[in-house]
Structure 1
């Protein structure tokens, strides 16, 4: 679950950007006391996520606005489904509408594309991971959406896992020197993963007590070979495939038997789930 304080701070920033000193259109054309009721409707099939953000958007603008979710985060929805009902002051509802739908649509889009990929490889044991390629300011929200879609979270930042990549290896003087520096004294107290780009690096990495090895830009045929090398070595280190993996080729990677696949596109390129808020004026 996401902390309410995080939701409020994220939504507050967006409301400030969108509303500024006031919704001058609504204030200009709607008479005082005008009330509205509305329904958020799915315009296509998907997985809903971000209801808490939408609710906070409406209620930060006007805490008297009533927001009634009819679905829960992680639910599959279909075109035409009613996701939530809203009622309150018309100016308040219209002022919060775009911010609420932006969060709900974006996070539902992340959950939906994740769910589509997870479903494609449902017959295999491979797990789908996210990455740090997230929208600035929305990392926790997008990683939450990945979980709602059935994926798993990779590290959240630079602080909760050691992930040695090509630039670290180059700066440290090669993969052997890098691993020696990591394990000279004792095993780090956080998970350790290293990225390898060829079989020579892989064979060196298999000699250390790593928690995971990332196979970067390996072709599926090379992944099969890498798994064979690991199995013959006696190591039991899980592998993660990464790099240019999409919904179009993910099944080919899952077929190899690799344990994890990380896909940056599920956060950085997810298409919003199309949603609309249809409102009716209750009284003037």
Structure 2
């Protein structure tokens, strides 16, 4: 990743290409990074410690190193942080990043994930923002992989939810994919989800479903149900994706038998990793787990300055 040609967003062409290949829009990633850097550097974009202690002309190399076993995600995002930091602080686009690992890889404590060479001030200025994003994304990927492993042998896949960190949804949902999971809706705009409050306000499942279909005929519709009877009603109304909320494995099995292949089925609510295999064995298509994004611990990753 050593091509330093400007790509229009403060990133090298190589970094921009990696982001696009991951399904991440470089312009949106740039906005996230810039917000984070300004939060750290203040309105004057100043790292007072680095400016005071390090000559502007000094260059060094740092290694991005795993401090724990896990699954890595967000290496191109971390690379972009250093490149954007270089631009914002007046550098000459001289940062070079070499990625050693790949997103989705299982890594072990001590593994070098990437190396970065450039102005030492830039490396240390971008360090915390790069590690915050990389560690967060890798933590989500690591947690997701545990669920994917638990579901191995069934057809079920683990889904994320909208319970994401404000401003980081795009990155966290990418990390879910890198960890072997799959994404649900990105927001309130791309999928209609009829939940309990919608059902009550509209006067029932059938009425709510029809209203959504009339208002947005091309938008996918998902319906949350709590009982076998509601599942059957939703399918008969036309729903082709059901959220089976807080159902026991026995009830999930009954719904699968009653609905057959007329709808995709998602188990949701109160799921734990210890129960994942049992729930997957009921025949549902998905398990949605808000904890993938709202409760994943970070993967400890550090930046080590080479001293030799």
Range into which the TM-score falls when normalised by the shorter chain: over 0.9
- Structure 2 residue 202 is the aligned partner of structure 1 residue 172: yes
Contact kept, 8 Å, 2:194 with 2:209, in 1: the verdict is no
Establish whether residue 213 from structure 1 lines up as the match of residue 213 from structure 2.
Answer: no
Q: Count residues in correspondence.
A: 278
- Report the more deviating stretch, 204-213 or 109-118: 204-213
CA drift at 1:182:
3.9
Aligned to 1:39: 63
Looking at structure 2, the residues matched to 222 and 187 of structure 1 have their Cα atoms a distance apart, in angstroms, of 32
Choose the corresponding residue for 2:269, options 243, 255, 266.
243
Measured against aligned partners, the alpha-carbon deviations of 1:39-95 in whole angstroms (never above 9, x if no partner) come to 011111211111121111111121212211111222221211110011122111111
Structure 1 CA distance, aligned partners of 2:307 and 2:128?
Answer: 18
Gaps spanning 5+ residues in structure 1: where?
A: none
The residue number in structure 2 matching 1:70 is 100
Q: What is the DSSP-based 3-state SS (H/G/I as helix, E as strand, rest coil) of the residue aligned with 1:214? A: strand
SS in 2 for 1:270: coil
Alignment partner, residue 139 of structure 1: 169
> What is the CA–CA distance in structure 2 between the aligned matches of 1:119 and 1:78, rounded to whole Å?
18
**Residue 149 (structure 1) shift:** 0.9
Q: 1:126 aligns with which of 140, 150, 156?
A: 156
Tell me if 1:277 matches 2:306: no
2:84 equivalent to 1:53:
no
The answer to whether the 8 A contact 1:74-1:111 is kept is yes
> Does the CA contact (< 8 Å) of 2:74 and 2:133 recur in 1?
yes
- Alignment RMSD: 1.7
* 1:10 matched to 2:32: yes
1:196 equivalent among 225, 234, 254? 225
Aligned partners of 2:138 and 2:127: how far apart in 1?
A: 16
Q: Which runs of 5+ in 2 are unaligned?
A: 1-22, 87-92
* TM-score of the superposed pair, with normalisation by structure 2: 0.86
User: Are positions 1:159 and 2:181 aligned together?
Assistant: no
Structure 2 residue 112 is matched with structure 1 residue 86: no
Q: Distance in 1 between matches of 2:244 and 2:97?
A: 46
CA distance in 1, matches of 2:99, 2:121: 21
Q: 1:96 to 1:118 in 2, by over 3 A?
A: same
Matched, 1:256 2:282: yes
Among 42, 45, 49, the residue aligned to 1:25: 49
